[in-house]
Amino acid sequence: VKSEGPKLVPFFKATCVYFVLWLPTSSPSWFSALIKCLPIFCLWVFLLAHGINFLVSHRSASRILAGLIFSAVGDAFLIWQEQGYFIHGLLMFAITHILYSSAFGMKPLDLKAGLLMGLVSSSCYAFLYSYLSGPFTYLVAVYIALIGFMGWRAVAGMQLCNDLWTWTKLSACIGAMLFMVSDLTIALNKFCFPVPYSRFIIMATYYAAQMLIALSAVESRDEEDFRKRS
C-alpha cells in the first residue's frame, strides 16, 4: 500500500471527477470522452511510473498496459454508441480481454476453474440469446467467450486452494470478476431491460476492475524485490 498507493492518487481523483461531473450520455462530445477515459489514462501513468525497463522486461505488465490503451479507445467509441459505434467499442474490449488473458498466462491450467467459468459464461449467453438479433447473436457469444476465458485465467492464477496466492493475484481475480459484472450489466441494460442505476453500477465496477488488474502487473516486480532482499 505504501509503495503503490501514492501512484494511484491521480486515478482516484480522475474517477471522482467523472462521478462529480456525471456528463449526460445523451449529448456525447470529445470532452465527455476525455472525462470518461481520464481514469484509464491515469492507470497508464501508474504502470509507466514503474519504469520503461520494467515494462519491457515483463511481458505481463506490458500486455496489461496495452489492454488499458485499447480500453480507453473502447471507452471513447462507447460514448458514441447510439451513433453506431457500439460494435467498435465491443471489438476494442475484446482485444483488451485477449491481452489480459495473455498477461495472466496459462499456468496453472486449473480445469475446474475453467469448467466453472464456462458454465457461468454459457448461462449468461443462454439468458441473453432470446434478446439478441442480427450480428449481435454471434458477436456477443464471442465476446462472452473471451471475457469468460480471461476470468478463468485470472481465477486459475490465484491458486487459493494451494495457498500460493499473493495480493496481486487476488487483485487480478477480483478485477476480472468485476469486469464481468460491469459488462453483464451493459448487456442486460442494452439488450434486455432497463437496469436501475445501470450507469453507476457499470462505471463503478469497471473502474475498480481496471485498477485491480493494473495493480496485478506489479507482481513480477514484487518477486524481484523479494529475491534481492533474500
The pLDDT tens digits for 142-173 are: 999 999 999 999 999 987 666 677 889 999 99
| 87 CB-near residues (< 8 Å, 6+ apart) | 135, 139
Q: How many domains does the chain have?
A: 1
Residue ranges of the chain with per-residue pLDDT less than 50 = 221-230
So what's the pLDDT on residue 166? 86
So what's the pLDDT on residue 3? 81
The whole-model pTM stands at 0.93
Handedness of CA 100, 103, 104, 105 (dihedral sign): positive
155: nearest Cα among 140, 175, 141: 175
So what's the pLDDT on residue 162? 66
Q: Which residue has the cell 501512484?
A: 7
| C-alpha dist (Å) from residue 86 to 74, 78, 140 | 9, 6, 12
Pull the grid cell for residue 226: 523479494
What does R_g of the chain's alpha carbons equal in angstroms? Answer: 18
So what's the pLDDT on residue 40? 98
| 227 CB-near residues (< 8 Å, 6+ apart) | none
Domain of 150?
A: 2-226
